[in-house]
Structure 1
Amino acid sequence: MDSPKPQDVATWLTENLGALHTFMRRRESNPQTAEDLTQKLAEQILKSEASGTRIENIGAYAWRAAHTTLVDHYRAKAQIPLDEVGDDFPGQREPAEHIHELRALLHPEIKNLPKRQKQVIWLRYYEGMRSREVAGVLGIAEVTVNNYHHLAIDRLRVALAKRGVTELEGALEH
């Protein structure tokens, strides 16, 4: 019995370019910039394949590359807004405008968090680190990182509930 043939990269990109653009648009408020980032991402993936990079799972490779492209974009602009870059992947059905509204509401609330909670949120959602990695960076136990994370999420939910927002879906995932 033959093993399944890996999906062709170009075919996968053709079928999923719209989803990649939606992913970019949810995180970049300028529609033209989101389109440019999507095109840059597609070109990078095709160049990687052409250079001989073996891509076993094109879906996982593409979504990780999409996240990296956004992080690089914000680093290059020297504007790294925590509320714009997340590590959540497609699957949510909310429109991009709703996501941007939630993130705009979250931004001042994140600024009001205690220092350690803010650091944990930054490292988890902007840097895309796991709890263990955050613990290493901050020099604290992993269980402490998880506690700070849960406290921060709870504070953000309470703050947004006071504004009439009852869910953080799409703005932060945990």
Structure 2
Amino acid sequence: MTFDEFVAVRLTALVRYAAVLAGDRDLAQDVVQDALVRLHARWSRVEHPEAFVRRMIVREYLSWRRRLLRRRALAAQLPAAGVVVDHAAASVERADLVRRLSLLPPRQRAVVVLRYYEGLSTAEIADLLGCTEGAVRTFHSRAMSALRMSIDRQNDLEAIR
């Protein structure tokens, strides 16, 4: 398979994967583009392009988040974070889940997306994120607790109304 064939077959799924990870379709397209540029430069040496490009997507996204946080710290600004959702393609529940995921710290969000959207094991996630399996389990536990608390708070508010 050539690089162009790989991109033609996998681009839509890769952008969808990155959009769930990033919570922003435009950012997802940028992240995927950067990852594909890296893949293209190494195409002849990469044995498993799918795994390579997914790893690059996660790393590019985490790098983007770090740069954003540095810029915010330097500027001492805390603008409201919004989630861009493709309303035409997403249900209300999915939009709510994407919003909740966007509130998680980047590594927790990455673990949830990789486990539930990509079906990766703890070991695969650890390898992809460059951390230990114990760290992945901790990120997962904290993410699930935060999501449960968020849902419980919403249910409590709805019960009051």
TM-score range, shorter chain: 0.5 to 0.7
Other-structure match for 1:46:
40
Confirm or deny: 8 A CA contact 1:124 1:130 kept in the other structure.
no
**3-state SS of paired residue (2:46):** coil
Using a 3 Å threshold, how does the CA distance of structure 1 residues 149 and 77 change in structure 2: closer, same or farther?
Answer: closer
- State how 1:1-174 maps to structure 2 within 5 Å: 7-49=1-43, 52=44, 54-78=45-69, 97-104=95-102, 107=104, 128=129, 129-132=131-134, 134=135, 152=142, 155-156=145-146, 158-162=148-152, 163-164=154-155
Counterpart CA distance in 1 for 2:32 and 2:140 is: 33
Other-structure match for 2:82:
none
Task: Tell me the amino acid that sits aligned with residue 15 of structure 1.
Answer: V
Using a 3 Å threshold, how does the CA distance of structure 1 residues 9 and 99 change in structure 2: closer, same or farther?
Answer: farther
Task: Tell me the amino acid that sits aligned with residue 4 of structure 2.
Answer: A
Counterpart CA distance in 1 for 2:60 and 2:150 is: 30
Task: Tell me the amino acid that sits aligned with residue 12 of structure 2.
Answer: G
Confirm or deny: 8 A CA contact 2:39 2:49 kept in the other structure.
no
Higher helix content, 1 or 2: 2
Q: How far off its partner does 1:23 sit?
A: 1.7
Counterpart CA distance in 2 for 1:61 and 1:101 is: 28
Counterpart CA distance in 2 for 1:40 and 1:157 is: 30
Confirm or deny: 8 A CA contact 2:21 2:110 kept in the other structure.
no
Counterpart CA distance in 1 for 2:63 and 2:146 is: 27
Counterpart CA distance in 1 for 2:148 and 2:30 is: 37
Segments of 5+ residues of structure 2 without an aligned counterpart are: 71-89, 113-125, 156-161
Instruction: Report the TM-score when normalising by structure 2.
Output: 0.53
**3-state SS of paired residue (1:78):** helix
Instruction: Report the TM-score when normalising by structure 1.
Output: 0.50
Counterpart CA distance in 2 for 1:131 and 1:123 is: 14
Number of positions where the alignment pairs a residue of Structure 1 with one of Structure 2: 120
Q: How far off its partner does 1:16 sit?
A: 0.6
Other-structure match for 2:159:
none
CA RMSD after TM alignment? 4.0
Using a 3 Å threshold, how does the CA distance of structure 1 residues 75 and 15 change in structure 2: closer, same or farther?
Answer: same
Using a 3 Å threshold, how does the CA distance of structure 1 residues 161 and 9 change in structure 2: closer, same or farther?
Answer: same
